[in-house]
């Protein structure tokens, strides 16, 4: 079944995934205020409809960090994505290549770098967290460089993991040992398609890039314990210098919400930033990406590449983010839902929907090229705080 929108793919994902995995994709931190704001604030951006303009030829192509892409959209790094469909990151990178857009592999992917590289015909981007074990980070960066990853997305908004209550209620987190395993197994049994396709045929479940440091401790509780104990809270802007010493490609800092931090990222030599609140999964109650983006674009726009994520559920939302000041966007939940609903084909279809929706939105705002999408096509932002 092909969905008619990202919302449809969300409902298909809910039906096909065990509860603990769907809640992991769908949920945010604490009361999920920021998660909701990401969507409602973006929806509140009203575009100016223009008429009697020649919009017979719409061009969505763009250039990001020296690479040409078919549209200003990337598949964001998603932890454990490979648990949503059989070897899911392999399917996602193929879909991204077909669509002509970047795929970004997460540090905490199910499939490791080498496996995804074998499935890919072109270089993909890699995402990294600041981890206490610098030797482990150095090895990962060297491996990513060796397989040709041109761009590093360095996520900085997770010195400690946010509290995601849905994960506790579903049994994904906070349910260690046999009881936790039995609870998740019971949920999997209720979804036999997933249990066969991913639970059995999708092995090994070794948590990819982190497997060397986890050793034999490969359970989900081991993974979350490793995150709590190994993400580095003692981190500063000087650490960007260390990253640069290990990485010769482009560096993009992900997790910027404040214009001062955007300026510091520029001063630190970053090639780009991602305006992001981690999909509402970290500090609850903070600004939505849509609210944070305009002042950040005012601060550093034109001097570095600005990407944004959070709440993007359609091609119309992509145009809204570009109008607010982004040069491109990252899709997170949108591709996770599609992957769970129907694998590579569903991601390809979802990206086709995004492209078609962008074409319509651009035509009706009188824009024909990505460079023409700017704040001048915004009529107002309703309900401004």
DSSP secondary structure letters along 283-312: STTS--HHHHHHHHHHHHBTTBEEEE-SS-
What is the mean predicted confidence (pLDDT) over 285-311? 97
Q: How confident is the model at residue 178 (pLDDT cuts 50, 70, 90)?
A: low
Q: What ranges do the domains of the chain cover?
A: 6-377
Q: How confident is the model at residue 118 (pLDDT cuts 50, 70, 90)?
A: very high
Q: Which listed residue (191, 205, 238, 278) is catalytic?
A: 278
Active site residue 191: no
Residue 34's nearest CA partner among 346, 318, 286 is 286
Residue 333's nearest CA partner among 15, 39, 20, 19 is 39
Does residue 268 register a pLDDT over 70? yes
Pair type for strands 62-64 and 67-69: antiparallel
Q: How confident is the model at residue 384 (pLDDT cuts 50, 70, 90)?
A: very low
Residue 311's nearest CA partner among 47, 35, 78 is 35
Q: How confident is the model at residue 379 (pLDDT cuts 50, 70, 90)?
A: confident
The domain 6-377 is placed in CATH, from the list 3.30.70.3040, 3.20.20.70, 1.10.10.10, 3.40.50.720, at 3.20.20.70
Q: Is 64 helix (H, G, I), strand (E, B) or coil?
A: strand
Bridge partners, 74 (sequence order): 330
CA torsion angle 354 329 235 303 (round to 10): 170
Query: For the whole prediction, is pTM greater than 0.85?
Result: yes
Residues in the chain: 385
Q: How confident is the model at residue 174 (pLDDT cuts 50, 70, 90)?
A: low
Round to whole Å and give the CA distance between 118 and 88: 14
Q: How confident is the model at residue 294 (pLDDT cuts 50, 70, 90)?
A: very high
Does residue 58 register a pLDDT over 60? yes
């Amino acid at each position: 079944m092909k969905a008619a929108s990202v919302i449809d793919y969300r409902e298909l994902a809910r039906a096909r995934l065990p509860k603990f995995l769907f809640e992991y994709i769908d949920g945010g931190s604490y009361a999920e205020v920021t998660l909701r704001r990401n969507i409602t604030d973006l929806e509140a951006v009203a575009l100016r409809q223009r008429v009697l303009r020649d919009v017979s030829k719409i061009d969505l192509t763009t250039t990001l960090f020296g690479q040409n892409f078919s549209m200003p959209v990337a598949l964001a790094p998603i932890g454990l994505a490979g648990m949503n469909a059989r070897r899911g990151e392999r399917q996602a990178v193929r879909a991204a290549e077909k669509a002509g857009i970047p795929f970004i592999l997460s540090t905490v992917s199910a499939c490791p770098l080498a496996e995804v590289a074998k499935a890919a015909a072109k270089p993909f981007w890699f995402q990294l967290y600041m981890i206490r074990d610098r030797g482990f980070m150095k090895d990962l960066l060297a491996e990513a460089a060796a397989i040709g990853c041109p761009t590093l997305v360095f996520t900085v908004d997770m010195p400690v993991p946010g509290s995601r209550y849905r994960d506790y209620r579903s049994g994904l987190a906070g349910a260690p040992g046999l009881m936790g395993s039995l609870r998740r197994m019971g949920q999997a049994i209720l979804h036999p398609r997933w249990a066969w396709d991913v639970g059995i045929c999708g092995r090994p479940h070794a948590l990819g890039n982190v497997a060397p440091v986890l050793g034999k401790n490969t359970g989900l509780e081991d993974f979350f314990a490793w995150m709590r104990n190994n993400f580095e809270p003692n981190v500063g802007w000087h650490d960007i210098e260390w990253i640069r010493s290990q990485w010769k490609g482009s560096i993009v800092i992900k997790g910027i919400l404040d214009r001062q931090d955007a300026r510091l990222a520029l001063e630190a030599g970053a090639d780009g930033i991602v305006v992001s609140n981690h999909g509402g999964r970290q500090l609850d109650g903070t600004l939505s990406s849509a609210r944070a983006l305009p002042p950040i674009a005012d601060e550093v726009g034109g001097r570095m590449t600005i990407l944004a994520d959070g709440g993007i559920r359609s091609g119309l939302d992509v145009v809204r983010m570009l109008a607010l000041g982004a040069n491109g966007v990252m899709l997170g939940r949108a591709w996770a839902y599609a992957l769970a609903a129907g694998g590579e084909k569903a991601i390809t279809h979802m990206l086709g929907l995004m492209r078609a929706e962008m074409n319509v939105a651009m035509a009706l705002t009188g824009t024909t090229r990505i460079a023409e999408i700017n704040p001048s096509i915004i009529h107002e932002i309703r309900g401004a705080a």
